[in-house]
Structure 1
């Protein structure tokens, strides 16, 4: 057995009896994962998935980065960056994945399985810039994704140094969901890390999500203090439409200077949704709460008499644009969410498709 393998086993055995050990907790380990360990796992080392590629996985262990071997029939697409796995440190063979606290995922086209974005994320930094990239409809999709995953959302407004007045952006963002927190930063300055420090404490995991060109890679470099050849590549945006090119091509886990971890994700301009009913109700709480007061149970909130939501639009307490965007997301969710049909012991999952 290699000396480093014996060290990994020894470190894990020592820390398995010490739930507050800084070695594992700095990687995000906590009671939720510790409770999943069985006596038979004593020879296995917990490692956190750091990158997921088409044919390989890498993980962060108590002794550093490790390239994992997968058992037969296991697929890399079954794992997300941020997952915790138990690994044989002698062979680097992945034994099993631990249950996730949270999972961010998005629907893919063509009936393929959902794409796993990130796992065990405490706070989702929804990054958007103070320019033409700012899109309330897209931000509502990101918020729905975070809510459904039970991950805390935070709107991070970037490029404030290039915006004349950021107050309108802050106001629009804060109005997208009740109690939503919004911060504004210049991602290139050290003050950005100070502003985000409350969400980046030791053992906390954050993920960056947003369109290309909004400053995610720049923010990652600031949070992780990456410089020179170690820095994540950044790219400029087109001035005519504020759109950027992809500089991040894969999801990856990085330690934050001073504590915590950050998961970077490629730019995501399109986000299809499914199975997000609860998350949708949280974003559009003012509509979800009024709907039961409509005269008809099947009210479409369009033209029916006694519609509580149309009455609220008339008196200015509900924004008509919000209703339109809610209806679009609701229809998309219904079309994309599979339903079970058939006898009790022979259920078949079908996707309804667009309603006619």
Structure 2
């Protein structure tokens, strides 16, 4: 069957009152940003598909009339678009992303873990219970801001909290630029209160620790109970891992929803801009310090310390800011050194291989 790819290309004009055919590709998040990277011939020869799930030995991709698994490709993640070479899938081309969320991989290995790409809105979910943690929320928000993904804090289990307003106030104090939505994840509340972000063609993602209600929220948006959920442990308010991998779902209104496993460890790297955007007031104050390399601890003429002493800045927030900046700087430098070392090693290996080839 010959597919009509004309709707995938940028449209110059649309006649008044004309109906635009909504294809599966549009629902998957295809937009001019991607169509501008391909030619009409390429669209026909290698149809666009989106990675909706990443397995250890396969990628699950979906497109117009395509729903299949292919062999893994390097440096791709869930949410990526690729131009699928159906003759040899390893020759498929990954398109540039408009957003990418990543972190330093857990453990002692110096690796970068790609979390998700091409996400419009990151719903950062936390429960109104003892597991609520402002510092953790700030980490997720910094990660989203660095990725040019709009963060929204979603507070769940409000019906179980004795005083949900206290949690809401703490969340709103994090940043004026980050909306806060408090709801019961069950029933129709998520579809109603998250509707402004969950529009056709948009891709949203739920992030947070296990047990905060990410899968329940995804089920609510989808209008089904397809995703398994579990209750939290009563002794420490912590959740059990239900979702084991990141997966994109198409919900009935044409929005893509990413459900993610809980991340116990979230170390930032290459996130300096995101941290500066979240702590915009402290970043602005740091520019007024006497010394350009001020560490904002004991240096004379430090505008940040002066603001703390005058009561203008909360010291606990300042401490969290310093911790994130230090962690991000250390991980970024360490990863850069690792890349440089690998580059030198690779160069030496190629020299040896070339020398052996000549001698043979």
Q: TM-score, normalised by structure 2?
A: 0.86
2:43 aligned with 1:34: no
SS in 2 for 1:197: coil
- Matched with 2:315 is 320
Contact conserved, 1:125 with 1:155, CA < 8 A, in 2? yes
SS in 1 for 2:196: helix
Q: Distance in 1 between matches of 2:335 and 2:195?
A: 44
The Cα of 1:92 is off from its aligned counterpart by 6.2
1:306-335 CA deviation, whole Å, 9 max, x = no partner? 321122112222110011111111111121
Q: Distance in 2 between matches of 1:139 and 1:299?
A: 27
2:295 aligned with 1:303: no
- Matched with 1:187 is 185
How many residues matched? 330
1:81 aligned to which of 75, 78, 81 = 78
2:329 aligned with 1:334: yes
Contact conserved, 2:111 with 2:335, CA < 8 A, in 1? no
1:271 aligned to which of 237, 243, 266 = 266
Q: Structure 1 unaligned runs (5+)?
A: 1-5, 351-356
Q: Distance in 1 between matches of 2:158 and 2:231?
A: 15
The Cα of 1:81 is off from its aligned counterpart by 0.9
Contact conserved, 1:69 with 1:94, CA < 8 A, in 2? no
How do 1:45-56 and structure 2 match up within 5 A?
A: 45-56=47-58
The Cα of 1:225 is off from its aligned counterpart by 1.5
- Matched with 2:171 is 173
Relative distance call for 1:36 and 1:323 in structure 2 (3 A) is same
The Cα of 1:101 is off from its aligned counterpart by 0.8
2:97 aligned with 1:100: yes
SS in 2 for 1:67: strand
Q: Distance in 2 between matches of 1:40 and 1:118?
A: 28
- Matched with 2:22 is 22
Q: Structure 2 unaligned runs (5+)?
A: 12-19, 343-360
Q: TM-score, normalised by structure 1?
A: 0.87
SS in 2 for 1:105: strand
* CA RMSD after TM alignment: 2.2
